[in-house]
Amino acid sequence: MAKSSPRFVCQSCGAVTPRWIGKCESCGEWNSIQEEAPVEALPKGQTGGRGGRKVEFFPLKGAAAPPPRLPTGLAELDRVAGGGLVPGSALLVGGDPGIGKSTILLQATAGLARGGAKCVYISGEEAIDQVRLRAKRLGLEDAPVALASATNVRDIVATLDTGAPPDVVVIDSIQTMYLDTMDSAPGSVAQVRAGSHELIRLAKKRGFVLFLVGHVTKEGQIAGPRVMEHMVDAVLYFEGERGHQFRILRAVKNRFGATDEIGVFAMSDAGLTEVPNPSALFLAERRGNVTGSCVFAGIEGTRPMLVEIQALVAQSGLGTPRRAVVGWDSGRLSMIMAVLEARCGLAMGGNDVYLNVAGGLRISEPAADLAVAAALISSFTGIPAPPDMVIFGEIGLSGEVRAVAQGDLRLKEAAKLGFDQALAPTRPREGKGRGASDPKATGKDGLRMREIGHLQDLVALFDVPNTQPSEGE
């Protein structure tokens, strides 16, 4: 038997080193290297390619039926999952502590069980009585869900591999599970990776839906190696502030549906309730005729969504002005401020700037550039933006306003919620260049459209004189 050398594995990124070092060379984390038991190597005669079974190949073209779906009873969860749960799939649910991961999975399994599905909920963090107390508080105590409290992966696999397979299995959480054949502690990279592999392999073999609950690090990423995200079919993140009632369930990976799809929930004493029209809810507390506020028409996955962008530009008494951003990219804010100063003559660099996306939603698409610029200009000049206007568009470094995708869908959502006008990038027309601007407002979906091709056109709406020389002077 060949002798195996010791392995030192980083508990943050999974990198393997031949010796212990204080700082991981792959991810830069300190004191994350731990020694793990060596894996016994097989004799050389058993490691060759001989004796294996022949792999069968199939043509690419064929009658591929869409996978069957298992509705959970929660329309927002079904939307994020791609229309329902696919048998034999594995889903990883991550989020901050107390955000609602266990609550939504308990509600989903209760709804599935009431519909006739066989559901198993295995908790490694709570006792059975604790899970029952939560179910009673949520009004789910009569749901025929099978509960268990276990942490040994071998025992769980042996139990689920006998008899009729269940339809849905929830593991809460994967960081508490361990394999007794390994010497590392539960929650380590080796345990998380090996335990996930065994459970996912069993789910594919038996054909049941597997939910894995994952803890997150202080950076917001799921604890354990990133290879765990590649092993599952879908990765769902819970977003939102613990002090805020809204919860956003976002799909960052989905093999059976659209990525970046979101589901909106509201946390209450009865658990998580669905929000079928999040745009109206996000704008419910909006006050019109306020400086530094405008409405952005965004797209999250396949869903149009209107949110309020708030900005505050105030005089700074410090040598280095403050920049505080909630719900958006701080680097993108700095870029827009630089474009406003260089191309439009608005010197905001010496002021404190605060930016907030109301409602706890996090926006990542560049289509919010124009709405952010409008909110900054409104706060800087003290002139409010029209309260019945929605704004969207991408801003380039030269100050041009670029077109964004799915503009018609954004406008339809704005018209449905009663908005009268929209500020959007110029659409190309025959005989006009991309940056040409039609002086007359056009109508679309019941909205009065005002199309602009440059950021200076937005500044002109707020009656701010342009101090920059035009091109060619």
Under CATH, to which class is 281-461 assigned? alpha beta
Nearest to 384 by CA among 251, 279, 247, 289: 289
Over residues 401-429, the pLDDT tens digits come to: 999 999 999 999 999 998 999 999 987 65
pLDDT-derived band at 4, boundaries 50, 70, 90: low
pLDDT-derived band at 243, boundaries 50, 70, 90: low
DSSP string, 103-149: HHHHHHHHHHHHTT--EEEEESSS-HHHHHHHHHHTT-TTS--EEEE
d(CA 81, CA 70): 10
Report yes or no: 64 and 210 within 8 Å, Cβ to Cβ: no
Q: With left for phi above 0 and alpha for psi between -120 and 50, is residue 468 left, alpha or beta?
A: beta
pLDDT-derived band at 433, boundaries 50, 70, 90: very low
**pLDDT over 90 at 245, yes or no:** no
**pLDDT over 60 at 471, yes or no:** no
d(CA 210, CA 243): 30
Q: Using only the alpha carbons of the chain, give its radius of gyration.
A: 27
d(CA 157, CA 203): 10
Helix or strand (DSSP H, E) at 202: helix 189-206
Q: What is the pLDDT of residue 45?
A: 46
Nearest to 387 by CA among 308, 282, 449, 277: 308
Q: What is the pLDDT of residue 3?
A: 56
**Omega of the bond prior to 196 within 30 degrees of 0, cis?**
no
**pLDDT over 60 at 34, yes or no:** yes
Q: What is the pLDDT of residue 445?
A: 64
| E strand intervals along 275-330 | 293-300, 303-315, 323-326
- Virtual CA dihedral for 238, 239, 241, 245, nearest 10 degrees? -70
Angle between helices 330-344 and 369-381 (to 10 degrees): 60
184 or 344, higher pLDDT? 344
**pLDDT over 90 at 331, yes or no:** yes
Domain 75-276 has CATH 3.30.70.890: no
Cα 264–102–120 angle (5° rounding)? 120
Over residues 117-162, the pLDDT tens digits come to: 999 999 999 999 999 999 999 999 999 999 999 999 999 999 999 9
**Once rounded to an integer, what is the mean pLDDT over residues 447-469?**
81
Over residues 260-300, the pLDDT tens digits come to: 889 999 888 888 999 888 888 788 778 878 899 999 999 98
Q: What is the pLDDT of residue 29?
A: 82
Percent of the chain with pLDDT over 90: 54
Report yes or no: 339 and 395 within 8 Å, Cβ to Cβ: yes
d(CA 313, CA 375): 9
Parallel, antiparallel or unpaired: strands 90-94 and 209-214 = parallel
pLDDT-derived band at 220, boundaries 50, 70, 90: low
CB atoms within 10 A of CB 253: 16
d(CA 117, CA 72): 10
